[in-house]
Structures are given as structure tokens and as C-alpha cells.
Amino acid sequence: MRSLLLISVAVCWLCSVAAVVRSGSSDGFQKPRDTETVISLLENKLMASSVPMVPLTLIQGADSKGAVCLDGTLPGYHLDRGFGSGANSWLIQLEGGGWCNNHRSCVYRKTTRRGSSKFMEKALAFTGILSNKPEENPDFFNWNRIKLRYCDGASFSGDSQDEGSQLFYRGQRIWQVAMQEFLSLGMQQANQALLSGCSAGGLASILHCDEFRELLPSSTKVKCLSDAGMFLDAVDVSGGHSLRNMFEGVVTVQNLQKDLSSTCTNHLDPTSCFFPQNLISDIKTPMFLLNTAYDSWQIQESLAPPTADPGGIWKACKSDHLHCNSSQIQFFQEFRTQMVLAVNSFSTSDQNGLFINSCFAHCQTERQDTWFAQDSPQLNGKRVAESVGDWYFDRAKDVKAIDCPYPCDTTCHNLIFDFNPSALEISASSRFCFPLFRASLVLLVLTKLIPRFLV
């Protein structure tokens, strides 16, 4: 049963990671790689049998305020009510799932759960930081825990529309309407609140942190957490700037210039002001940055995407760091150095927290194995959940930990992209595997594996 739970948790996380993808063409997001299809199918088959599900609630009347998903449908969220001492405490988790960076990718996205509530799961498993069990989530288990679904394609930013294609870029309005909904449900009386998010949701928690603080009474303890949201303006393996190009597309197609921080846009271009490294030092509300130094999403999509590596020289390395040669590892070490430098000014504030571990992974708050388990990753003897709790509740001073460079950390749960179809597994060890193979094999593999998981 424990192995099934770990499989389910990791599958849920992986499904949310594989959202911004390329099919080899130069215009960005096309169709989801087979990776996302496989993981989504596994998630649907496995999750319901092992973890309690929290139903989807659509925000009624949001459309009258223009707060709609890309396709015009209502936005939604999942709420698991708090109890006991946590009844007046609120945790808002902003869902991640990449971005759409041009007209074509946004048109495609509105046919998926990342752009339409028509395709969202009717219920989700709450694990990790969203779990309601003290043995899995010691500090936040009895809080009101909400997962706000992501369907605007720009990290809950933007307020424009493409009339011709009936695309609604209304992330900012979704944010506002959702917050008003939560306030009406009792968050207005919160004595404690935490805004969190993973990946594109982690970027959103940075973009909206100070707004969140302003929504609540001054007597409310408010802090923010960004998990895997430190997307760097890094040079890719070809010497280009793949992620900058993508972000420039997001900012342009959704006309985000007017919605970005004026403190930043007063001296930097709009695209630069979508990068967290140019925002975090100006955030007034206490913020905790949780990130892996060798973020697996950024390796796949920013540092060595197919467009920057047409010959596939990095294919084996970016799929499994154990297949990297010394010069490739050195390239990753330089990326880590950039990450450390990017948080240098941020870390000087006593109110902020850091947990940057030298692992090849992505989101770590919603995965039970990385959030709080017996063998979870650690820094200075503390697991992620313990570090976040110490920081939020002021149980320790200066909760800032930056790992030594790879390969010194033996507690990592590294993500491995395996090209062997027979290796479709999420193991309980430190290597989490899933295949990148043709969709025609999906049903065959599932037919063989699902019965084994469910016995």
C-alpha cells in the first residue's frame, strides 16, 4: 500500500510538471509530449484508489466579471476545510502547468484542462502540503487548504482578449475573483495565511505575494512560498535564450506589460519583469523560495530543449544526469551558480527563507515523498516540510539553506526520464523514472501495469 501511495503521489506531480512542451518546431507549444499523456492516464487510474479526493468547485458568476479560462469557461478550485486549531488558517496553492506563448499554443491549450474547466478533473488528491494527515503534513494538515486551478496560461496574469479566436487572457481577473470567493468563505477572518504554488504557480505566488498580503487584515500573519518557481534567464546549450524567447511570447500574446510590477518595468523591459530573479528582492511580504539547483523542468525546456539541441547531443544527459559527461555537468554547475547568485540579495532579509537542494527534480511541496516522508530530501538535517514550518512559525532564525554542489547530496529524489518502455515506474528509491515513448504503446503498457499496481 505504501508503494502504491508513493506511485500515486509522484504520478500526480509529474502530470502537472509536463505542461509546456515542444514537438520540435520553432514556434513553441504544440501538442503534449507522450510523457504527459502517459502520466495523466496513470494518474486517473491510480489516484482514486489510494488518496481521498477533493471535488472541483466552479466559481459561479465569475463570467459576469470577465474572469474566465482561455476558452471562456468558469475558473475552479478544490477546497478541503480546516478543522480544530487550523479552522481559521488558510493555505492557497496556485496550480502550475507551463504557459502558452503564441496564438497557436493558446488555441491548443484551451482544449485542455490548462485552458478550460470543461477538461479539469472533477476531483483531485490532496497530498504533501495539501494533505489532511498530521503524519504527512505536520504544520498545515488542519488548515483550510485550497488548490486554485490554472487555466489562463500566464501564471494568473493578464487582462486582455483575442476577439477573433475567442481567447480570453484573464488570469488577473481569475486571481481577483478567486480571492474574493475565498474571503467570502471565511478567509477574511484568517489569523494565518500562506500563499503557495508550484512551477508556473510558484511564479504566480511571487507575482501576487504582496497583493495577497493587502487582501487580509494587518493582524493576519501572511507569508508566501514559491516551489520550483525560480525560472532563470539562462543561456541554453546553443548559446541562445530559449526561456527568454518563451517568456517574451507569453508577455506579448497576453499583453502583460501593464500587469507587471511597475517597480521592475521602470528600469527593465517587460520580459525581464516576468523573470523571478528581477522581482524577488522587491517583495515586501515574507517569502520562502524552494527550488532544486538543477531544476529538471528548466534542464528539459530552458537549457537543452530540442530547438537548442537539434542533434540530440544532450538527449541522454538531460534524461538522466548519470549519463552526463564532465563538460555537461560543468554546464549544470554554472546554472547552479547563477541560481545561487540570483537569490543572494533576497537572502539578506531576515524575514525570507531558502531551501535550495542540489537535486535533479522540480516541484517538491505536493509530492509526499519530497515534502515529508522518512526518506525525504534534507538540508542541515531538516526535510522540506520542517524547514518551511520552522520559517513560517518562526521556530528558528535564519531558515536559509543552500546545498553544496552535485554530487554531494545523497538524500535527493531525482527525476529520471527513461526511454525504455519497460521501465514505466515511479520507484520508492531516489530515482523516479518515466518513459518518453510513442503514444501507441500507452494502452499496452497500462494494460500490463495497472493490475499489478492495484492488487
Return the exposure string of 184-219: e unless at least 16 CB atoms fall within 10 Å of the residue's CB, then b.
eeebeebebbbbbbbbbbbbbbbbbbbebbebbeee
Catalytic residue among 362, 409, 413, 418: 362
Tens of pLDDT, residue by residue over 330-341, are 999 999 999 999
Which of these is catalytic: 139, 236, 295, 409? Answer: 295
Helix 171-184 × helix 200-215 angle, to 10°: 50
Q: Is the pLDDT of residue 165 over 50?
A: yes
Is 362 designated active site?
yes
pLDDT at residue 45 greater than cutoff 50: no
The pLDDT of 339-368, averaged and rounded, is 97
Continuous segment of H or E residues that includes residue 250: helix 242-253
pLDDT digits (tens, 9 = 90+) for 374-413: 999 999 999 999 999 999 999 999 999 999 999 999 999 9
In the chain, what percentage of residues exceed pLDDT 70?
Answer: 81
- Is 70 exceeded by the pLDDT of residue 356? yes
Higher pLDDT, 283 or 42: 283
pLDDT-based confidence at residue 163 (cuts at 50, 70, 90): confident
| Identified catalytic residue from 199, 302, 319, 347 | 199
> How does residue 432 score in pLDDT terms, banded at 50, 70 and 90?
low
* Catalytic residue status for 295: yes
Confidence check: pLDDT of 361 > 80:
yes
CB-based contact 372:355 (threshold 8 Å): no
| Residue 228 pLDDT exceeds 60 | yes
Question: What's residue 266's pLDDT?
Answer: 95
pLDDT at 422: 40
pLDDT for residue 417: 84
322 pLDDT band, cuts 50/70/90, is: very high
Determine how many CB atoms are found less than 10 A away from the CB of residue 429: 13
Q: How confident is the model at residue 191 (pLDDT cuts 50, 70, 90)?
A: very high
Q: What pLDDT score was predicted for residue 170?
A: 98
Q: Residue 188 pLDDT more than 80? A: yes
Task: Supply the pLDDT for residue 46.
Answer: 38
Torsion on CA atoms 418, 419, 423, 428, rounded to nearest 10: 10
When mean pLDDT is compared across 106-110, 263-267, 295-299, 426-430, the lowest value belongs to 426-430
Q: Which three cell numbers stand for residue 158?
A: 493578464
pLDDT, residue 233, reads: 98
Q: How does the average pLDDT of the chain come out, rounded?
A: 86
pLDDT confidence of 453, banded at 50, 70, 90?
very low
Residue 185 has a pLDDT of: 98
| CB 31 within 8 Å of CB 80 | no
Per-residue pLDDT, 52: 80
pLDDT at 50: 66
